Every structure is written in structure tokens, then in C-alpha cells.
Amino acid sequence: MTEYQLGQRPDTLLITLSGRDRPGVTSSTLATLALAGVDVVDLEQIVLRGRLVLGLLVTAPESPGAAAALRTAIEETAHALDMSVEIEAGTGDRPHRPRQRARVTVLGTPLKAAALGAVTRSIAGHGGNIDRIIRLARYPVTAFDLHVSGADPDELRLALAADAVAQEVDIAVQPANLTRRGMRLIVMDVDSTLIDGEVIEMLAAHAGCEAEVAAVTESAMRGEVDFTESLRARVKLLQGVPASALDEVYAGLQLNPGARTMVRTLRRLGYRFAIVSGGFSQITDRLAADLGIHFARANELEIVDGVLTGELVGEVVDRAGKATALQEFAAELGISEAATVAIGDGANDLDMLAAAGLGIAYNAKPAVRSAAGTAINVPYLDTIMYLLGISRDEIEAADAEAGIVTPAPPV
């Protein structure tokens, strides 16, 4: 505290203790500060693998003598706790904190040091400072949430998109504002997003034309052919398939991993869910009822005398229709589009992803990944919750309270 020796009393002092964590470190330190009569301006604490770092910003004593007494008392307290301590002049309470703040979520399986190093270099290269890093999950993916200040979120998103590709990790950049906490509607595509596979291909297997339909589906999802035309052409091939095939297909559906966990957890927090599909209402309505999803919109297959006619009833839910559905659901709930999350994998999802406050390309085609603001390329749908700042520990704790047992991760 040389400022005292120079006759320049600092406004604040930064006291940092570090060492093995144990009960009573924080309370003992605060008790010592209470005897000195100082005010606590800021306080941060972190425990990592049993090691604790405690930082306290306090008002500086009025006189050099009182400051020396405080130093001695803190050092004695730290010694009794077997902790290391540093005391230095503080830098105030950061009244001019940069206005531009972002949350950068990084996911990897595994997450290598080289990848995380590339991300942090890009953040620094764009004028960003990492104020805090929080681990959100360690299994089955590793996920970290980086609190960044001083960098423009839009510029950072573009820069980190290149790192995501080069380092084979997933990176999401969002402005650190109330909107992230206010996300209240999740709108999902169904085929290859909520479920594994394409319903129309499963139905085509009953008509003996699965390969032909799959080829057109793949081309449509890449955006190479008009979705509406391709859908009508594929549905035409289903003519004559018994309606009972819909029951067989539904019975064989496989949800993507983490789907139930995501819906269950976010419903506890008051979120609403919608599914919007270029598939068929005979399937999606049942999915919505099974999962507790609030809204569903899809195409309707025409059925006459218990047989598919090869035609659709009503307007096609196409690329524009998906975005319209999101907007209408948000309006019905009385929330802004900025408070929505959209998840999809195909070209016909792009308008919906663009309309949402957070658009996520989930295991998507390359053209969709490059056009979407955020991409997730791991096969776990519940990783979406990490982008909302929800940790795996919080998810599992909520399940435990509800009596749901989560398998222990590998050591």
C-alpha cells in the first residue's frame, strides 16, 4: 500500500485470499473486516477443484495506521486459515463498465485446450475482456459460458464462427441483456430435429418407394428444390398406403436424445413450446400431446376410406409458413419475437430461424449452418439449455427433486 507512504490514500483496497476451500473462510474474513469498520464494495468467490479464490473490494481506512492494522489483521486471519493473501490498492467499482457485453457459450466433445485458446484469442483480438468463465456441463458434452465485455456481439459472432469450424466446436454468441433471460417460447422443427429421421420416408417404406422419397427430401432440405413442389410430389407417392401405417410409424418414432429433458426442464421455468413441421399433423399432434407441447402446426394428409389419397388438405406449411407460425404463436402468448428460440435443420427452417430472437441450426445441412446465427452439431437436444445459461447441475437437481434419477457420468 505505497499510496499511503506517498500521502495518497486509495479509495478502495482489493484483498485476495486463495487456498484450499473449507467452511468459515468467508465468514472469518468478513468478521476481521467488520472489526476494522470498512465497507464491502464488491465481493467475488470461486471454488475450483477444492481450491478457493476470494476477492473483496473494501473501502480503505482513513489513516496509514488503521491501514497497517487492517493488513496485519487480515494476514493473521489468512494464516490461521492456511490461506495466501494479497492486499493492494483497488481500482474503484468500475463505474464505466463497457456497455457492450456478450455471453459466449462454447461446447465440445471433447473441448480441447487448443480450441478454447483460439476462442479466447479471437475475443481479445476484437477488444473483448473475459470477465468470468462458468462451466455449464462436463458430460456428455463440455460446455463453458464466457462473460465478455468490450466487444461488439455481432462482430464477435462472425469472428467466432470461423473458429467454430476450424476447431470443430460449437460456439454461440448472444448479447448479455434481459432478452436472454426472457426467452419464453421454443419453436422446433420435427423431422431430424425433435425426432430422429423423416416421417415421410418412414411412410414411403410402406409404399415401397423409400429411396426415391429420401433423395427428394435430402435435396429439399439442402434448398436445391422448391419445398412445396417436392412435398406434393413425395406425398403423391404415398397414394394407397393404409392410414394404419401412421400408427405404425408413430409407434416407431425415436426422439432425439435430450428432447424430453429439455421440454420437462423449461416447462418448469414457465416456457411454452411449439412444433412447426413440414410433416404431417397426424403425427405432430400426437407428439405434442405426448410431450406436453402447447402449439403444433403441420400439413394434413388426406385420408379417404382409411387410405392415403396422395393429396394434402389445406395450405402447405412451407418455409414462409413456419416463420408465420412462430410469429402467430408469439402474438398469442403476448411476447415479442425477440423472446423466442427457433430450432431446425433444413433450408425450409431458415425463415423461422431468422424470425426468432435466437435461431439455432441443429445438426443442420451446411447451407443452413452457415446462414443461421448459431449452430449445434452434437446429438443432444438438451444442450440448447446451455445457450440459455442453464447448467447441467441445475437440470439434474430439478430432476432429483421430482424423483427423476439421472445416471451418473463417467469418472
- How many angstroms separate the CA atoms of 120 and 128, rounded? 9
- How many angstroms separate the CA atoms of 345 and 195, rounded? 11
pLDDT digits (tens, 9 = 90+) for 46-94: 988 899 999 999 999 988 899 999 999 999 999 999 999 999 988 765 5
Number of domains composing the chain? 3
- pLDDT for res 406: 78
176 with 291, same domain? no
Region 316-336 average pLDDT: 96
- How many angstroms separate the CA atoms of 312 and 230, rounded? 13
Sign of CA dihedral 393, 394, 396, 397: positive
Q: Which of 159, 140, 156 is nearest to 148 (CA)?
A: 156
Which residue of the set 163, 189, 318, 351 is catalytic?
189
Question: pLDDT above 70 covers what percent of the chain?
Answer: 95
- pLDDT for res 2: 47
The CA distances from residue 87 to 31, 42, 58, 357, in Å, are 17, 15, 11, 44
Q: Is the pLDDT of residue 168 over 50?
A: yes
153 with 203, same domain? no
Give the three cell numbers for residue 62.
482513513
CATH number where 133 lies: 3.30.70.260
- How many angstroms separate the CA atoms of 235 and 352, rounded? 23
Domain of 319 in residue numbering reads as: 186-379
- pLDDT for res 253: 97
Residue 189 annotated as catalytic: yes
147 with 84, same domain? no
- How many angstroms separate the CA atoms of 181 and 179, rounded? 5
Residue 196 annotated as catalytic: no
Which residue of the set 145, 191, 345, 351 is catalytic?
191
Question: pLDDT above 90 covers what percent of the chain?
Answer: 77
- How many angstroms separate the CA atoms of 24 and 41, rounded? 20
Mark which of 180, 197, 215 sits at the end of a domain: 180
266 with 320, same domain? yes
- How many angstroms separate the CA atoms of 216 and 214, rounded? 5
- pLDDT for res 308: 96
- How many angstroms separate the CA atoms of 246 and 203, rounded? 7
232 with 263, same domain? yes
Alpha carbon 280 to chain centroid, angstroms: 28
206 assigned to some structural domain = yes
Q: Does the global pTM surpass 0.75? A: yes
355 with 325, same domain? yes
Mark which of 150, 165, 180 sits at the end of a domain: 180
**Around Cβ 185, how many Cβ atoms within 10 Å?**
24
The CA distances from residue 411 to 12, 139, 140, 408, in Å, are 44, 10, 12, 9
Q: Is the pLDDT of residue 6 over 70?
A: no
Please tell me the least confidently modeled range out of 7-11, 57-61, 139-143, 152-156: 7-11
pLDDT digits (tens, 9 = 90+) for 200-236: 999 999 888 988 888 888 887 777 888 898 899 899 9
232 with 329, same domain? yes
405 assigned to some structural domain = no
Q: Is the pLDDT of residue 379 over 70?
A: yes
Alpha helices, H only, 240-318: 244-251, 259-268, 281-291
Q: Which of residues 298 and 110 earns the better pLDDT score?
A: 298
**381 and 190 Cβ atoms separated by less than 8 Å:** no
Q: Is the pLDDT of residue 98 over 60?
A: no
219 with 195, same domain? yes
- pLDDT for res 1: 46
Mark which of 145, 180, 215 sits at the end of a domain: 180
Please tell me the least confidently modeled range out of 224-228, 312-316, 358-362: 224-228
- pLDDT for res 219: 83
For residue 299, which phi and psi values (nearest 5 degrees)? -80, 155
- pLDDT for res 92: 60
Q: Is the pLDDT of residue 7 over 70?
A: no
287 assigned to some structural domain = yes
